[in-house]
Structure 1
């Protein structure tokens, strides 16, 4: 029996990278995992297959975030897949990973990154409230960029600061129901999103590793293990916090 047996978890953006690692870890702890994907159905199917090979239970559903009505559509698809199941764990992981600096960022790009990284989690949670069991868990995947000055990705960093503020207020609002709400803030993680500039350039890899006090680039599993802790009963007395998952970057 895993510590999340009989729990149902929704992980947005769960087909690749951090989301995939989170989905696999929660399923490994016994949860039934519903993971969403925006475009890459093959990657989502592969994630589900891997979870099932490991003895877990998972479903994938397509849910492209960033448009009005996206949260309502996501939960309608969730209900269709699960048969109107209740949910115990909600991980808001889907997001746009980078943005331009202030001198070149367009209004359209600004709107898009805020729509996916801020508006979507807000309304995904809003529509989750009637389905979310008391004593449940909400975990928002933020970024270490929210606490460091990185003007080259200023809009992205701003979305993660907004997400942390959302976490703080939501924890207060949902505390009477025994629901904890926390952010996890990764640093530079070795994912497909970062492959173009990180894996392809040994010097960039070395610089990224040097940012961490632990002297290496993070893995998706490093983040997933922290999410799994926050999803468990072991974290029942932690709420409204931003948990650093950068390996001590920028100390």
Structure 2
């Protein structure tokens, strides 16, 4: 299951997992056309996939998402929670309505999804959440977003320990500057080039780069990695 699977990093992850032979449930919030396009790409990659709409912060809809996965494919082995929201502004000027919406998706949404995963994931499975390398970088204007993702890191570490005895690994991936629509929105060419140049590898990440990290953590090869934050950012921090 990949929430936020209709675009960006989530969509790249759907494609990567489908290519590795996973049957994938593409969770999406509203854009059915994009979700169906992600399903089409997964099928073309040789996998099986379906799209299911769910608001990640709504516990009933998320429960139904898991039920749909169990009904369609027999159970859930991997949960990748890639759905998220980003709003940028200085803390002194931040609109509290935006703060509430941001935290509803990023904090409550993560909690609801991993709560269901904790109760319904099969033994030997994997949970991958999403943080951000901004937790370490602390750029101006990212305060509210960083606060939400620091919360994600905290709950991820706790859940890894609470699932002792279940043979389920739980990790967070923290991308750096990655060329997604959400990242590029509102940035001019100079800003994009400056951010790309900060990493020693001197480029922006791609959704496919991050999908590879997720696929590793979800695979048997990555199962011994547990309770960690993987900063996939080209060496920026």
TM range, normalised to the smaller chain?
A: over 0.9
Q: Deviations over 1:150-192 (max 9, x none)?
A: 2311010111111111111111111321110001000111111
Deviation at 1:81, TM superposition (A): 5.6
Q: Which residue of 1 aligns with 2:232?
A: 245
Residue 193 of structure 1 corresponds to 182
Find the aligned partners of 2:56 and 2:119 in 1 and give their Cα distance.
20
Give the distance between the partners of 1:59 and 1:190, measured in 2 at CA.
26
Specify which of 143, 159, 163 is matched with residue 174 of structure 1. Answer: 163
Question: Hey, what's the Cα distance between the residues in 2 that align with 1:91 and 1:77?
Answer: 13
Query: Shift of residue 94 of structure 1?
Result: 0.3
Name the structure 2 match of 1:6. Answer: none
1:83 aligned residue: 71
Partner of 2:192: 205
SS at 2:93's partner residue?
coil
Equivalences for 1:1-251 in 2 at 5 Å?
A: 10-66=1-57, 70-80=58-68, 82-83=70-71, 85-198=74-187, 201-250=188-237
User: How many pairs align?
Assistant: 236
* Superposition CA RMSD, Å: 1.5
Residues 122, 81 of structure 1: alpha-carbon distance in 2 compared, 3 angstrom cutoff: closer
Equivalents in 1 of 2:87, 2:95: separation in Å? 13
The answer as to whether partners of 1:113 and 1:156 remain within 8 angstroms in 2 is: yes
Alignment gaps of 5+ in structure 1: 1-9
The structure whose residues are more often helix, as a share, is: 2
Change (3 A) 1:49 1:233: same
2-side partners of 1:149 and 1:52: how far apart?
Answer: 39
User: Secondary structure of 2:165's partner?
Assistant: helix
| 8 Å CA contact retained: 1:184, 1:243 | yes
Paired with 1:212 and 1:14, the residues of 2 have a C-alpha distance of: 27
